[in-house]
Amino acid sequence: MQIVRELDDLRGEVKKAKKEGKSIGLVPTMGFLHEGHLSLVRSASSQDDVVVVSVFVNPIQFGENEDYEDYPRDLESDLQKAREAGGDLMFCPRVADMYPPGYATFVEVERLTEGLCGANRPGHFRGVTTVVNKLFNLVEPDRAYFGQKDAQQALTIKRMAEDLNMNVEVRVGPVIREEDGVALSSRNSYLSPEERRAARVLYRALSKARDLVYIDKEYRVETVRQCIEDEVGGEPLAQLEYAEIVNGDDLSSISEVKGNVLIALAVKIGSTRLIDNMLLEV
C-alpha cells in the first residue's frame, strides 16, 4: 500500500486511475484504525477498483477545549491494517497543505447539524463538511464510505453531496461493536479499564430503549428518553450529554416513536466523550 502525502502526488494517482477506467472508493478517517474503519475499507474494496483511505486529523472540526492534540495516531499500524483490508493508497495530507495561510472557505449544511452533537460542538460539522468536500475534490471518488456510528455526520454528508450536486455516491456501513456491545471508536483508547466497563452503558441504554419500543410497545418519546436517562444515570462514571429520539431521515423532532426513528446519545465517561445510536423501524 502506497502512502501519499503531497496533494499533487495524490492528484497524479487519481488521474492515472481515471485514465485506466478504474473506479475510486474513498474511506475518510482520522486514523488509529479499528474494525469500524476496516469494515468500510472492505466494502470499498469489494465495490471499487482503487481504494483510497485518507488519514487526517482535521483540526477545524475540533473545538478549542477538545482533544485535537491528544487524538491517538499510529500511522505504521494504520498502514498495515488498511492494506490487509484491501486499501490501495493511504492519503495523509499535512495540515499546512490542507489549510494554508489565507484559507477562508467553509461548507455548512443547515438544519441537520443544529441538534444532537451540533448543539454541543459548535463548528464541528462545518469542519467535517469542509474537509470532506476538500477530500472529494482531491480524490474524485465514485463512492465514499461512512459509518452509521456517526449517524448525524452520515446524513449531513449525504445532504451536502446531494445539495451541491457532487458526483459521488455516499454509502453508509453499519455500526461495528465489540462483543460486549461497545461501539468501536479511536477514542476508546482513552478509557481506563473501569471506564471501559462503564462505557457499556451506552449500548445497554440503547438496547433497553429498543426493547421498550419493540417489546413493550411504548411509543411515547418522553418515556423512552427517560429510560435512557435512568440507565445512564445508574452508571456512576457516566454523565449524559444528550439522549435524543428523532426522525431517522432528517433528525426532526417527533411526537411519537413511529416510522424510521433514530435514538442517539452522547455520554461522557470520565473526560472521554462517546457517542452511539440505534435506528428503529416502528
Q: Which stretch in 14-22, 131-139, 158-166, 182-190 sits in contact with ligand AMP by CB under 6 A?
A: 182-190
Q: State whether residue 63 is helix, strand or coil.
A: coil
- Bridge partners of 268? 239, 273
Cα–Cα distance for residue pair 217/229, rounded to 1 Å: 19
Does position 186 bind ligand AMP by CB under 6 A? yes
Q: Which is nearer to ligand AMP, 172 or 224 (CB)?
A: 172
User: Given the complex with ligand AMP, which of 127 and 225 has the nearer CB atom?
Assistant: 127
Buried b (16+ CB within 10 A) or exposed e, 193-225: eebbebbbbbbbbbeebbebbeeeebbebeebb
CB of 153 to ligand AMP, least distance (A): 6
Query: Binding segment for ligand AMP among 85-93, 141-149, 214-222, 242-250 (CB under 6 A)?
Result: 141-149
Stretch of 18-26, 183-191, 233-241, 255-263 contacting ligand AMP, by CB under 6 A? 183-191
Q: Determine the Cα–Cα distance for residues 190 and 183; give it in Å rounded to an integer.
A: 14
Q: Which of 36, 86, 141, 248 binds ligand AMP (CB under 6 A)?
A: 36
* H/E run at residue 160: helix 151-163
37 is catalytic: yes
For ligand AMP, the binding residue among 91, 146, 190, 203 (CB under 6 A) is: 146
Site for ligand AMP in 61-120 (CB under 6 A): none
- Of the residues 14, 32, 36, 37, which is catalytic? 37
For residues 58 and 131, the answer to whether their CB atoms sit within 8 Å is yes
Strand, helix or coil at 112?
coil
Q: Measured between alpha carbons, how far is 93 from 80 in angstroms, rounded to an integer? A: 18
| Active site members | 37
Residue ranges that bind ligand AMP, judged by CB under 6 A: 29-30, 36-37, 40, 146-147, 149-150, 173, 175-176, 183-186
